[in-house]
Amino acid sequence: MTSHLTFTPLAIPTMMHIFSKLVGVAAATQVALAAPQHGYGGGGRTLRFTNSGTFQISVFEDLHYGEAEDLVWGPQQDVNSTRVMNSILDDEHPQLVVLNGDLITGENTYKQNSTNYVNEIVQPLLQRNLAWASTYGNHDSDFNLSRYEILQREQSWTLSLTRQDVHTSTAGVSNYWLPVHGSNGDQKVPELLLWFFDSRGGNYYQQTTSDGKSVTQPNFVDQSVVDWFTATRAQLCSKYGKDVPSLAFVHIPVNAMLAFQQSKNDTGVRLHYEPGINDDDPLAQQGYAQGQGDVSGTVATYGGQDIPFMQALLDTPNLISVFSGHDHGDDWCFKWDSKLPGMNLTGNGLDLCFGRHSGYGGYGSWTRGSRQILVTEQQLKHNIAETWVRLETGEVSGSVTLNGTYGRDYYPAVADTSSS
């Protein structure tokens, strides 16, 4: 069973990452508003709503390619994960795929071939001419695996929209935004914004402590990213003349999800009001870490590390929902509309959702699947989104409407099943 990462709060990298020599280091408050010269990520691909006014995203969480490549069962897991992606994409027809963290299990890979697994991961997308965007997770950083090099590999394909907008030494990599334009062809003001954040974690690439152990990386969204987010958000509002509705993606969930899960007295995760599996209980949030690779056994307790990020999310007008993975045994959504136990922040109605464990790598045998997100141009006027999980079996699980009454609306319970 692959456990969650280890994070030593006082661990600091002993040298700047090799890649920083190539990209440079920006000030913490520097904002990169402009998209790359070759479109929003690569190849000039512009995301837009269909002619019928819909935009659908398929989210693949925790694929964990590259485990035990020297054994029979390791490569077979990757074959199974690719089968899951193909099956779901045959059933769904999204306009975008989001790879929401832990693409690769870095502690199991070798330096000379670790990013080659990206080639395997994106084959189902290349075959369908599907654009994709990634966030990186804790297992995407380790002694032999660099999230910077994952980005370089991704950007070798024009269908990849993943990029790096924040270049501070502590920011991680996959922090950026994407616009989705309307079906009317207006290229000036998008109908929807997509935000992507790097919650970091894992171990620093090719770095060791004095006693030869890997150097752990903090596992929460950094303050420099929060500064970039708030400044970029304000400048986009000024540029477009309004706060465009948005969705956000980050691999490790924020503490509000744990606080909701642990709340009692007929609140917390309820079978018919927040339908989904709830087997990672308690879940592991940003700032908490336990075990990864050669530092397994070290535990970091939660200490409010994600409070600035949560506040920034709450302060974002028209942010509909935030989607996370990391905890393989959870796939529910909840509406954060109150002050949760143990927290000083008060929710404003923001919906927070888990995806579904998509890969055969990583811990757990729950039936694999992919969270689907559907928004329409009409629904965006009311900040509404539809979401469900498409299972590898072809079944639909936990279909809900994220609207003003979510959390009060009654839904069928979700079956807790395992892959054969």
CATH code assigned at 276: 3.60.21.10
Q: Is residue 13 part of a domain?
A: no
> Do the strands 396-402 and 54-60 form a parallel or antiparallel pair, or are they unpaired?
unpaired
List the pLDDT tens digit at each of the 420 positions of the chain. 344 333 333 332 333 333 333 333 333 334 444 343 334 444 457 999 999 999 999 999 999 999 999 999 999 999 999 999 999 999 999 999 999 999 999 999 999 999 999 999 999 999 999 999 999 999 999 999 999 999 999 999 999 999 999 999 999 999 999 999 999 987 799 999 999 999 999 999 999 888 888 888 999 999 999 999 999 999 999 999 999 999 999 999 999 999 999 997 667 899 999 999 999 999 999 998 765 555 444 557 789 999 999 999 999 999 999 999 999 999 999 999 999 999 999 999 999 999 999 999 999 999 999 999 999 999 999 999 999 999 999 999 999 999 999 999 999 999 999 986
Q: Is residue 7 part of a domain?
A: no
SS (H, E, C) 284-338: CCCCCEECCHHHCCCEECCCCCCHHHHHHHHCCCCEEEEEECCCCCECCEEEECC
- Contact indicator for 8, 300 with CB cutoff of 8 Å: yes
Nearest 10 degrees: CA dihedral of 253, 416, 271, 266? -70
Q: Which of the 8 DSSP states describes residue 106?
A: G
**CA quadruple 391, 119, 284, 67: dihedral positive or negative?**
positive
Q: Is residue 14 part of a domain?
A: no
Q: Is residue 344 part of a domain?
A: yes
Q: Which residues contact 97 (CB under 8 A, 6 or more apart)?
A: 57, 58, 59, 60, 89, 125, 130, 131, 132, 133
Q: Is residue 29 part of a domain?
A: yes
> Do the strands 289-290 and 246-250 form a parallel or antiparallel pair, or are they unpaired?
unpaired
The structural domain count of the chain equals 1
Q: Is residue 411 part of a domain?
A: no
Domain range for 107 is 20-402
Q: Which secondary structure element, helix H or strand E, spans residue 89, and what is its range?
A: helix 73-91
Nearest 10 degrees: CA dihedral of 121, 199, 98, 366? 70
DSSP state letters, 9-36: TT---SS--TTHHHH----TT----SPP
Q: Is residue 309 part of a domain?
A: yes
Crossing angle of helices 73-91 and 116-127, in 10° steps, is: 20
Q: Is residue 317 part of a domain?
A: yes
The whole-model pTM stands at: 0.90
341 C-beta neighbours (distance < 10 Å), count: 13
CA-only gyration radius of the chain, Å:
20
Question: Is 28 exposed, middle or buried (CB count within 10 Å of its CB: 0-12, 13-18, 19+)?
Answer: middle
Grouping H, G, I as helix, E, B as strand and the rest as coil, residue 247 is: strand
